[in-house]
């Protein structure tokens, strides 16, 4: 029979182990997603064929990247595109949009946060989109810190309209938001001057690392503010270029231990550029995630 001392020692070890919770006990939650910009050429050629291939590889969700300007999803209206998704067992919980300050041929671009946003929100709701994401700011749209404050107001306004349809607005970062202007980070302006309930963030883990910033610090400072992630790896070359998930330097196992604190709901593989066929790259990424993160 074990002694009282050995029992206490064993209990102490067990309690310590549970408190530490090694990374192997944490796993990515939710369906494995793909940002469709990664396979943009295939989507432009034949979206039905491309989505079938994406589903066959084991992706269960996708994030759209084409609505802006056309007010169509890859050439289809909301009903037709929703049907193609369902035929392939896919959901599209998130989709990307532009701010809309930039003009094309002197004309406002519809389907953006600033122009014809009502229709964009209605179409997103019809497809089952839960998160509408401001995807990128052009150099013209970025401006100075005061202009980022104006953008924050525009995000709040667009987020209020999303809320009426049960959709959450998010903002997707690159690295330029972390270039300080007079000691202030544009990203901090966007975080602090938007309503945390109306505007949340899609953290692109590659670009945060490229900017030499710490995702964990942001998670601690703004818990629950990051429901979407772009899972994108950085290669080991001096150029720190894009690479397949698991083929680079970003510690995704450690990052996913903070998923609950971040407020993560969905994550999407994205690789802006690939060395060959994008489908080869997304195959490597999904296989790594299945084996090491799920």
**C-alpha–C-alpha distance, residues 27 and 260, integer Å:** 11
User: Dihedrals φ, ψ of 121, to 5°?
Assistant: -65, -45
CB-based contacts of 201: which residues, under 8 Å, 6+ apart?
170, 171, 172, 173, 191, 222, 225, 226, 227, 228
CA dist., res. 226 & res. 148, Å (int): 20
Nearest to 53 by CA among 41, 65, 71: 41
Domain holding 59: CATH number? 3.20.20.150
Residue 218 falls within a domain, yes or no? yes
Q: What is the pLDDT of residues 98-136, one digit of tens each?
A: 999 999 999 999 999 999 999 999 999 999 999 999 999
Residue 65's closest CA among 195, 202, 162, 157? 202
d(CA 23, CA 259): 12
Angle at 268 between CA 263 and CA 271, to 5 degrees: 135
Rounded to 10 degrees, what is the CA torsion of 262, 188, 230, 198? 70
- Where b means 16+ CB within 10 Å and e means fewer, 96-119 reads bbbbbbeeeeeeebbbbbbbebee
Does a structural domain hold residue 16? no
- At 35-80, the pLDDT tens digits run 999 999 999 999 999 999 999 999 999 999 999 989 999 999 999 9
Q: Does residue 92 lie in a domain region? A: yes
Degrees to nearest 5, angle at CA 55 with 53 and 60: 155
Left, alpha or beta for 58 (phi > 0: left; psi -120 to 50: alpha)? left
Ordered per-residue pLDDT tens for the chain, 294 residues: 444 444 334 333 333 333 334 444 456 767 999 999 999 999 999 999 999 999 999 999 999 999 998 999 999 999 999 999 999 999 999 999 999 999 999 999 999 999 999 999 999 999 999 999 999 999 999 999 999 999 999 999 999 999 999 999 999 999 999 999 999 999 999 999 999 999 999 999 999 999 999 999 999 999 999 999 999 999 999 999 999 999 999 999 999 999 999 999 999 999 999 999 999 999 999 999 999 998
Count of the separate structural domains present in the chain: 1
- In a domain? residue 81: yes
Does a structural domain hold residue 11?
Answer: no
Q: Is 169 domain-assigned? A: yes
**What own/partner pairs with CB < 8 Å and gap ≥ 24 does 146-149 have?**
148/186, 148/189, 148/190, 148/193, 149/189, 149/193
Task: Print the domain residue range for 136.
Answer: 27-292
Give me the DSSP letters along 35-71.
EGGGGHHHHHH-HHHHHHHHHHTT--EEEE---TTTT
In a domain, 123, yes or no: yes
| Residue 12 domain flag | no
- Rg value, the chain, Cα: 21
């Amino acid at each position: 029979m074990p002694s009282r001392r050995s029992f206490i020692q064993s209990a102490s070890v067990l309690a310590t182990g549970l408190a530490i919770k090694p990374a192997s006990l944490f796993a990515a939650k939710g369906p494995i997603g793909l940002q469709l910009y990664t396979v943009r050429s295939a989507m432009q050629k034949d979206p039905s064929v491309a989505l079938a291939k994406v589903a066959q590889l084991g992706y269960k969700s996708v994030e759209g990247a084409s609505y802006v300007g056309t007010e169509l999803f890859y050439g289809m209206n909301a009903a037709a595109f929703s049907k193609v998704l369902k035929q392939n067992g896919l959901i599209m919980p998130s989709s990307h949009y532009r701010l809309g300050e930039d003009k094309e041929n002197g004309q406002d671009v519809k389907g953006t946060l600033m122009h014809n946003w009502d229709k964009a929100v209605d179409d997103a709701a019809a497809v089952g989109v839960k998160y509408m994401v401001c995807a990128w700011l052009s150099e013209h749209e970025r401006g100075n810190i005061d202009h980022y404050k104006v953008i924050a107001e525009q995000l709040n306004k667009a987020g209020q309209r999303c809320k009426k349809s049960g959709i959450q607005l998010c903002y997707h970062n690159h690295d330029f938001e972390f270039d300080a202007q007079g000691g202030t980070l544009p990203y901090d302006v966007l975080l602090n001057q938007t309503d945390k309930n109306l505007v949340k963030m899609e953290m692109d883990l590659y670009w945060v690392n490229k900017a030499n910033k710490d995702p964990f610090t942001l998670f601690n400072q703004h818990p629950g503010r990051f429901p979407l992630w772009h899972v994108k790896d950085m290669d080991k070359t001096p150029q720190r270029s894009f690479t397949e998930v698991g083929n680079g330097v970003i510690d995704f196992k450690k990052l996913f231990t903070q998923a609950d604190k971040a407020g993560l709901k969905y994550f999407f593989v994205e690789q802006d550029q690939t060395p060959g066929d994008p489908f080869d790259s997304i195959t490597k990424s999904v296989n790594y995630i299945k084996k090491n993160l799920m």
